[in-house]
A and B are shown apart, each in its own frame.
Chain A
Amino acid sequence: MRHIISILMENEAGALSRVAGLFSARGYNIESLTVAATEDESLSRMTLVTRGTDEVIEQITKQLNKLIDVVKLMDMHEGPHIEREMMLIKVRAAGPAREEVKRLADIFRGRIIDVSDTIYTIEVTGTSEKLDAFVGAITRTDIIEVVRSGVTGIARGERALHL
């Protein structure tokens, strides 16, 4: 099953490579990984999407917790949570397709953030599934470039990952 794991770790050189190294050394998958400093600059927050059986996910969280730089982590799937990913997509938009692309962007609550005679660049935010759906809705040959941020997530309500 797919799991989103959020990790608070010391904002130190090499912290990211420890996580990446752990996954490659133990043969776990990483579907996506994002990392940035938090409001406390000494801490980084990493969001990692992985897939595995319950046993594998249990090992992953235990092994991550063993890393000395990891302060705290949370498997988002232990409770209700919100998941978001952002995508910037550059699409050919000339002739009759131009209006169609704009309509699609509206339907997906995307925003056109850059325009040229033949091209729209659109920002879409949502779950990974929604972004997949948007990509699927655009004619394949019209897609020039896709860049996705990777998934971030946060727990709903009182549940929170903080010190």
Chain B
Amino acid sequence: MPDIRAFFWFFDFAGTRETKQVELTGAEIFVRSLVEQGIERVFGYPGGAVLPIYDALFQQDELQHVLVRHEQAATHAADGYARSTGRPGVVLVTSGPGATNAVTGIATAYMDSIPLVVFTGQVPTALIGNDAFQEVDSVGITRPCVKHNFLVKDVNDLAVTIRKAFYVAMTGRPGPVVVDIPKDVATARAEFHYPRRISMRSYNPVTKGHPRQIKKAVELMLSAKRPMLYTGGGVILANASSQLTEMTKLLGYPITNTLMGLGAFPATHRQNLGMLGMHGTYEANMGMHNCDVLVAIGARFDDRVTGNVDKFCPTATVIHVDIDPASISKNVKVDVPIVGPVDQVLKEMLKVLKESKKKPDADAQKAWWKQIEEWRDMDCLKYDHDSDLIKPQFVLEKLYEVTKGKAFVTSDVGQHQMWAAQFYKFDKPNRWINSGGLGTMGFGLPAAMGVQFAHPKETVACITGEGSIQMCIQELSTCRQYGLPLKIINLNNGYLGMVRQWQQFFYDGRYAMSYMESLPDFVRLAESYGHVGMQITKPGDVEPALKEAFKMKDRLVFMDFLTDKSENVYPMIPAGAGQNEMILV
């Protein structure tokens, strides 16, 4: 036997670490596993149950730990990191309240299919179920909002469980995975062995789309008279923006992106009709409603996109490409389903397209585009440029100009989010970071921190409102600690604007609890955290202030824009209406 050991050690030095066998504590295994996984940074917050892990983190320098001020922010920051890089975000929190505080962030990532691995401390195994101090059933609480979760009861299973967690989080349709680690597991010892490869008999994500279905889809696309491409966050998650762009340009067809899919196809390109859905453009929604072939790619027919499904795309034959079979025919019946990774399927589609002798019907396309341009001429995003009040849309238009469209932009949730999606034109993927599915207020600032950590030299702007920003405002302290030069664009209208808008439209103007009283002086608040604060009250000051702020490359600037209190987001499809039944300005 000793000879065999020696043989394996030889291999170890020869470069495969598969056989490395050293006895470490669970906490050390945690750190080593993350390093082996290629993780550089963990967002977290310490506490009793994770003390052994924090002790191990303290004694090494390969893995950076970012200390947030609230566990929700740790998950959002890891989420922003993941969305802007395509790499998994990693979170470490303690048991009990640490875990429950993280749940909002986990659910946010789950709804938008973001790969996160969240480690939660747990009370020692002997105390589990005893209502111990800071005990909560983390696996039970997170089960409905994770792709999968694990409770590690034996230190010998720790490394392989961590490997599985990353594998599950990152492959197939990505999503958050929780690993619950009891305190005694972190202190027990085991031989360390981090498997390079992993296979699970119960989990085998598809790697290719069905060739016959792909061919059928391409034929259908080429015979379309009024085609429409409708693409979502799946394109960005699959890193398939270049294939999508190539295919769309080759076909010459109109394309619309969902809120999650902005940036997958350049927003400034003529073929892009902008965002669709509840606050989408007139041309995009009318294009959807009147198309004869709908090509949905990495999009899931969310209710905010379809409106009333009974009135959705009444004349269309539907092609749907998605990695998740459960997304297909869930809300809208699909005629040609293709289950597979979007990048692979698009590559195959491009190949078939290029080989095909058939070309799109030029006359039909001409007529279709003529119709689309008529819809586009409605100029559905127009707003009052001559107002004495600052229009929020104007701030975002200027933000786009001042940053030359190159910033990473995060947002919170509400009117400002919709205006940002409408007015900031994203030409590249992974630049627009927002909570689409769950609609989590408080997401913007911590997410921006994660983005800035991932891209220290890039400009990162957080578009928010006075409601949302106060849900995670404590993170201004984290920004100070790590010197994150974020630019916060606070569109302050003194209202929970989207709530107020719905109350105006659907509740006869009874503005229940949508007025934000007792707001802080945001300028002095920012300054008290050691940042730069500005308040902008006049339209004429918007552009100079933005220019001044973005010149301060190494400072966080909090820009409090006092905007028109009564401005609404248009166009709007009221809930239950069809895509052709929009409220225009």
Contacts and interface: CB of A to CB of B under 8 A. Distances in A.
A52 interface: no
B202 A62 contact: no
Contact of A14 (B139, B202, B203, B324): B139
A68 B202 contact: yes
A63 B203 contact: no
B147 interface: yes
A18 B324 CA distance: 18
Interface residues of B, number: 17
A12 to B, nearest CB: 9
A9 B203 CA distance: 11
Interface string A4-19: 0000011001100110
Contacts of B201: 71, 163
A10 B202 contact: yes
Contacts of A14: 139-140, 143, 151
Contact of A68 (B148, B324, B326, B329): B148
B576 interface: no
B150 to A, nearest CB: 9
Contacts of B325: 62, 65-66
Interface string A35-64: 000000000000000000001001100110
Question: Which residue among A10, A62, A163 has the maximum number of chain B CB atoms within 10 Å of its CB?
Answer: A62
Nearest to B139: A14
Given A68-B168, A70-B202, A71-B201, A17 B330 contact: no
B138 to A, nearest CB: 12
A18 B143 contact: yes
Given A17-B140, A18-B143, A71 B326 contact: no
Nearest to B325: A62
A71 B202 contact: yes
Interface residues of A, number: 20
Contacts of A58: 329
Nearest to B144: A25
A80 interface: no
Nearest to B330: A59
Contacts of B329: 55, 58
B326 A63 contact: yes
A69 interface: yes
Contact of B326 (A13, A25, A66): A66
A10 B329 CA distance: 28
Contacts of A63: 326
A135 B139 CA distance: 41
B326 A62 contact: yes
B200 interface: yes
B376 to A, nearest CB: 36
B555 to A, nearest CB: 45
Nearest to A60: B326
A13 B152 CA distance: 11
A68 B143 contact: no
Nearest to A10: B202
A142 B403 CA distance: 82
Given A62-B325, A62-B326, A63-B326, A68 B140 contact: no
A163 B200 CA distance: 13
Nearest to B148: A68
A66 B203 CA distance: 8
A55 B309 CA distance: 15
A123 B428 CA distance: 68
Nearest to A25: B144
Nearest to B173: A66
A13 B202 contact: no
B143 A17 contact: yes
Interface string B475-501: 000000000000000000000000000
A14 B152 CA distance: 13
B143 A13 contact: no
Given A68-B202, A71-B201, A13 B324 contact: no
Interface string A61-102: 011011011110000000000000000000000000000000
Contacts of A9: 202
A25 B145 CA distance: 10
Interface string B322-338: 00111001100000000
Given A58-B329, A71-B201, A66 B324 contact: yes
Contact of B200 (A59, A66, A68): A68
A144 to B, nearest CB: 35
A119 B168 CA distance: 55
Contacts of B139: 14
Given A13-B151, A58-B329, A59-B326, A69 B202 contact: yes
6 contacts: A21-B144, A55-B329, A65-B326, A68-B168, A68-B202, A69-B202
Given A17-B143, A63-B326, A69-B202, 7 more contacts: A14-B139, A14-B143, A18-B143, A21-B143, A59-B330, A66-B325, A71-B202
Interface of A: 9-10, 13-14, 17-18, 21, 25, 55, 58-59, 62-63, 65-66, 68-71, 163
